[in-house]
Structure 1
Amino acid sequence: MRDTLSDGLKTALKNRDRVAVSALRSALSAIGNAEAVPVDDQVGPAAVGEHVAGAAAGPGAAEAERRALTGADVRSIVEGEVRERSTAAAEYERLGRDDVAERLRAEAEVLNRYLGPGA
Structure 2
Amino acid sequence: MRAALRQHLTTALKARDRVALAALRSALGAIDNAEAVPIDSAPIDSAPVAGLGGEHVAGAASGVGATETERRELTDTQLREIVENEVRERTAAADEYERLGRADHAERLRAEAEVLTRHLVR
TM-score, scaled relative to structure 2: 0.89
Match of 2:79 among 47, 63, 74: 74
1:1-119 correspondence to structure 2 within 5 Å:
1-44=1-44, 46=46, 51-54=55-58, 55-116=60-121, 119=122
Q: Which residue type is aligned with residue 41 of structure 1? A: S
In structure 1, stretches of 5+ residues that fail to align are: none
TM-score, scaled relative to structure 1: 0.91
- Hey, which bits of structure 1, 4+ residues long, moved more than 6 A? none
- What is the total number of aligned residue pairs between the two structures? 117
Q: Distance in 2 between matches of 1:45 and 1:51?
A: 13
CA contact (8 A) 1:82 1:111 kept: yes
Q: Distance in 2 between matches of 1:56 and 1:74?
A: 31
- 1:22-71 CA-to-partner distances (Å, cap 9, x unmatched) read 00000000000000112111025535797214332211111121100011
The percent of aligned pairs where both chains have the same amino acid is 62
Aligned to 1:46, the other structure's residue is in SS state: coil
Which has the larger Rg? 2
